[in-house]
Amino acid sequence: MPLLVKTGNSHHLLSSTAMAMCSSFCPQLPSHFRARPFPLPSRQPFPLSFKAFSAQASIAPLKGNGSPTRVGFLGMGIMGSPMAQNLIKAGCDVTVWNRTKSKCDPLISLGAQYKASPEEVAGACDVTFAMLADPESAVEVACGKHGAVSGLGPGKGYVDVSTVDGETSKLINGHVKATGASFLEAPVSGSKKPAEDGQLIFLTAGDKSLYETVALYLDIMGKSRFYLGDVGNGAAMKLVVNMIMGSMMATFSEGLLLSEKVGLDPNVLVEVVSQGAISAPMYSLKGPSMIKSAYPTAFPLKHQQKDLRLALGLAESVSQPTPIAAAANELYKVAKSHGLSDSDFSAVMEALKAKLQS
Ligand SMILES: NC(=O)C1=CN([C@@H]2O[C@H](COP(=O)(O)OP(=O)(O)OC[C@H]3O[C@@H](n4cnc5c(N)ncnc54)[C@H](OP(=O)(O)O)[C@@H]3O)[C@@H](O)[C@H]2O)C=CC1
Ligand SMILES: O=CCCC(=O)O
């Protein structure tokens, strides 16, 4: 069986022969060449997270005839493009599609194949990933005319890595399962840079066998993966995480502006925050450019507002009060109404500036 070895940003597919030679020299592969269970507290309801590789390996899924599994990728946006790119660079047989075809061109140059519809991609591939903007586009691409579902069937898998709500995920799951195919929701934590670096965190739920089949690909694109049980749990986990993140960014923006107004240097605030209990990579990463009112897009503000909206819906469905997130959501709505939808979500700070308050 071939092994896929990940070392930093490089991936190497070792053939069966190479493996045989390797094991004759090293009868036991070093432990860092194997996926390791991540130690979890025993009370964890789903003890199924795996710490991913940095220089690890796992078995590449093979088709019965010995050819590597064909992987489809739908949605070449900020996230989908680097994720697909990492699969191609790792030697996977990748077929891509995007609504705006030109965004596929760099992937085609790297060796990807192209198909003209999600249906054709799913028809040609064993496993198809989808990274789409929101619930509407995720449903359209999966279940619409010439959608992926029309190309699915028994033995195939569909993995939706978009951030959507649980209801949407369950709807897509229903359509996929009706074809005899398997479904996994697998939204990701981590933004543009982690996507480029293969350092995403996958929050998966759905068909366990598909989770196991695609683990190799998740490990190429990510640094860890969590299996959370039934469809809806991955979406819920992702929305809770992004609800916290959206509120954190909103209050950080308030802090930056307040510090400046009372005569402090906001750069010093960023440094102080970075050394204390509320330190977060996000503050150190985004703070310096926010101070310069620069918001280069990694995570579009419109998607953060969508996630807050969906998280508030989730909270309402279980009567959980979320007043902080609700207030943050209003701020992102203000920012959107001022044309900042496609800026980075850190541009929410603009909504707090006097010129946007009038
Ligand atoms: N950016 C980030 O940091 C992160 C984003 N996410 C989530 O990942 C998903 C994608 O995000 P990101 O890549 O940043 O977003 P982008 O806006 O860059 O990409 C969105 C993708 O969805 C496609 N799309 C939008 N509407 C439709 C439609 N109606 N029919 C077909 N395709 C459509 C776009 O196609 P086209 O090119 O034609 O417009 C594009 O491929 C979102 O759910 C987001 O919340 C998750 C983690 C991090
Ligand atoms: O959904 C976007 C998440 C961005 C991040 O985790 O940095």
Atom of ligand 2 nearest to the CA of 238: 1
Give residue 203 CA to ligand 2 midpoint distance, Å: 12
What tokens were used for 103? Answer: 């965004």
The ligand whose atoms approach the alpha carbon of 98 most closely is: 1
Domain end point (choices 198, 229, 260): 229
Return phi, psi of residue 285, to 5°: -70, -45
Give the confidence band of 9 by pLDDT, cuts at 50, 70, 90: very low
Closest ligand 2 atom to 298 CA = 4
pLDDT, tens digit, 9 for 90 and up, residues 262-288: 999 999 999 999 999 999 999 999 999
Q: How many domains does the chain have?
A: 2
Q: Are 169 and 160 in contact (CB under 8 A)?
A: yes
Q: Are 98 and 199 contained in the same domain?
A: yes
User: What residue numbers bound the domain in which 247 lies?
Assistant: 236-357
Give percent of the chain above pLDDT 90: 79
| Judgement on whether residues 173 and 253 belong to the same structural domain of the protein | no
Catalytic residue among 156, 223, 238, 286: 238
In whole angstroms, how far apart are CA 127 and each of 92, 100, 281?
A: 12, 22, 33
Q: Which residues of 14-50 are buried (b: 16+ CB within 10 A; e: fewer)?
A: beeeebeeeeeeeeeeeeebebeeeeeeeeeeeebbb
Tell me if 2 sits within 8 A of 62, measured CB to CB.
yes
Same domain? For 73 and 212 the reply is: yes
Does 222 share its domain with 352? no
Tokens of 92: 């996977």
The partner residues of 236 in beta bridges, in order of sequence, read none
Residues 216 and 268 in one domain: no
Ligand 1 atom, smallest distance to 162 CA: 43
Q: Could you tell me which residues come within 8 angstroms of residue 312 by beta carbon, excluding any fewer than 6 positions away?
A: 243, 322, 325, 326, 329
Angle at 188 between CA 172 and CA 138, to 5 degrees: 30
> What number of CA atoms fall less than 13 Å from residue 40's CA on the CB side?
15
Do residues 103 and 216 both lie within one domain? yes
Taking CA atoms only, the protein residue closest to ligand 2 atom 5 is 190
SS3 77: coil
Average pLDDT (133-157) is: 98
The reply to whether 180 falls in a domain is: yes
pLDDT at 158: 98
Does residue 75 sit in the same domain as residue 198? yes
CATH of the domain at 172: 3.40.50.720
Residues 220 and 245 in one domain: no
Token representation of residue 233: 């749990």
Out of 229, 250, 275, a domain closes at: 229
Distance from residue 139's CA to the centre of ligand 2 (Å): 21
Give residue-wise pLDDT tens across range 288-339.
Answer: 999 999 999 999 999 999 999 999 999 999 999 999 999 999 999 999 999 9
Are 109 and 219 part of one and the same domain?
yes
Whether residue 223 is contained in a domain is answered as: yes
Residue 61 binned pLDDT confidence (cut-offs 50, 70, 90)? low
Residue 218 and residue 243 in one domain: no
238 is known as an active-site residue = yes
Position 189 scores a pLDDT of 98
For ligand 1, the distance from its centroid to the CA atom of residue 191, given in whole angstroms, is 12
Which is more confident, 177 or 15?
177
Q: Which helix (H) or strand (E) holds 262?
A: none
Whether 346 maps to a domain, the answer reads: yes
Residue 1 has pLDDT above 50, yes or no: no
Same domain? 267 vs 342: yes
Q: Does any ligand 1 atom lie closer than 6 A to the CB of residue 141?
A: yes
pLDDT of the residue at 55 = 31
pLDDT of 62 higher than 70 = no
Q: What tokens does 203 get?
A: 């929050």
Tell which residue, 72, 77, 116, 120, has the closest CA to residue 96: 72
Mutation pick for ligand 2 pocket among 189, 224, 239, 243 (CB with most ligand atoms within 8 Å): 189
Region of poorest pLDDT, from 44-53, 77-86, 109-118, 292-301 = 44-53
CA separation (Å) from 39 to 45, 150, 217, 294, 311? 13, 40, 22, 40, 28
Is the shortest distance between the CB of 146 and ligand 1 below 6 Å? no
Q: How far is the CA of 223 from the centre of ligand 1 (A)?
A: 21
Tokens of 17: 């022969």
- Does any domain span residue 45? no
Q: At 45, is the pLDDT very low, low, confident or very high (cuts 50, 70, 90)?
A: very low
57 in a structural domain: no
CB-ligand 1 contact for 140 (6 Å cutoff): yes
Has residue 31 been placed in a domain?
no
Q: For ligand 2, which residues put their CB under 6 angstroms from it?
A: 163, 189-191, 242, 299
Regarding whether 156 and 98 lie in a shared domain, the answer is yes
**H and E: helices and strands count for the chain:** 14, 14
Ligand 2 site-directed mutation target among 224, 245, 252, most atoms within 8 Å of CB: 245
For ligand 2, mutation pick of 299, 301, 307, 310 (most atoms within 8 Å of CB): 299
> What are the beta bridge partners of residue 319?
none
- In this predicted structure, the answer to whether residue 26 has a pLDDT above a threshold of 90 is no
Instruction: Say which range, 13-17, 89-93, 143-147, 159-163, has the weakest mean pLDDT.
Output: 13-17
ipTM: 0.99
- The residue contributing the CA closest to ligand 1 atom 1 is 299
Last residue of a domain, one of 229, 253, 268: 229
Q: Residue 37 domain-assigned? A: no
The full DSSP string for 5-64 is EEETTEEEEE-HHHHHHHHHH-SS--GGGS-EEPP--TT-S---EEE--SSEEEEPPB-T
User: With 0-12 CB in 10 A as exposed, 13-18 as middle and 19+ as buried, what is 221?
Assistant: buried
pLDDT above 70 coverage of the chain, percent: 80
Judge if the beta carbon of residue 168 lies within 6 A of ligand 1: no
DSSP 133-191: SSHHHHHHHHHSTT-GGGG--TT-EEEE-S---HHHHHHHHHHHHHTT-EEEE--EE--
Instruction: Enumerate the β-bridge partners of residue 203.
Output: 226
Q: Quick one: pLDDT at residue 6? A: 53
Q: State the chain's mean pLDDT as an integer.
A: 86
pLDDT tens track for 66-92: 555 999 999 999 999 999 999 999 999
Q: What's the CATH code of the domain at 259?
A: 1.10.1040.10
277 falls within a domain = yes
Residue type, 237: M
